[in-house]
Amino acid sequence: MKKVFVFMVFAILVIACGDAPNKEATNAPKPKSMIADEPADDGKGVGQTKAITLNTPLLAPMVAKGKAIYEMKCAACHKLSDKRVVGPGWKGITERRKPEWIMNMTTNVEEMLANDPTAKALFKECLVAMPNQNLTVEDARNVLEFIYANDGYEVTEL
């Protein structure tokens, strides 16, 4: 009797697994070639910004908002020239970094400093961790517009 019972439980388990055909597929070990030890660095950084479409020319109202945020929250540590104060100067940053990277650095700095190879290297140089400035993604996007204007990209008339 006990054996029959065990068999029935086993049969139910098998049927249950049969009901979820994907489960086995997800749990199955992946072939070695599909496992990346270190994900390749795409230069976009880590964070919620995956893709940015730049405005050509830049939009003046966004540049103005970004400038105001810069003056309030960033100017103490970042010059608009290429001179480093606490953090690197911003001149030329659009040549060094992708726009997505700049956005992620601005909105997700802790994770960037912990996991992004470029941000980690910067921290080694600067020896100060950039504090989280609590910018919304929208604020950060306006600052990005200002950063491109600072690098000489064309801006629309106000």
Site for ligand HEC in 95-154 (CB under 6 A): 96-97, 102, 105-106, 113, 122-123, 126, 128-131, 133, 135, 143
How many angstroms separate the CA atoms of 55 and 5, rounded?
69
Site size toward ligand HEC (CB under 6 A) is 26
Look up residue 122 and give its two tokens: 């910067």
Q: Are 100 and 45 in contact (CB under 8 A)?
A: yes
Q: Which stretch binds ligand HEC (CB under 6 A): 4-12, 20-28, 53-61, 66-74?
A: 66-74
Look up residue 62 and give its two tokens: 């966004």
Please choose, from the candidates 91, 85, 98, the residue with its C-alpha nearest in 3D space to the C-alpha of residue 130. Answer: 85
9 binds ligand HEC (CB under 6 A): no
Which residue type occupies 122?
L
Residues that bind ligand HEC (CB under 6 A): 69, 73-74, 76-78, 86-88, 93, 96-97, 102, 105-106, 113, 122-123, 126, 128-131, 133, 135, 143
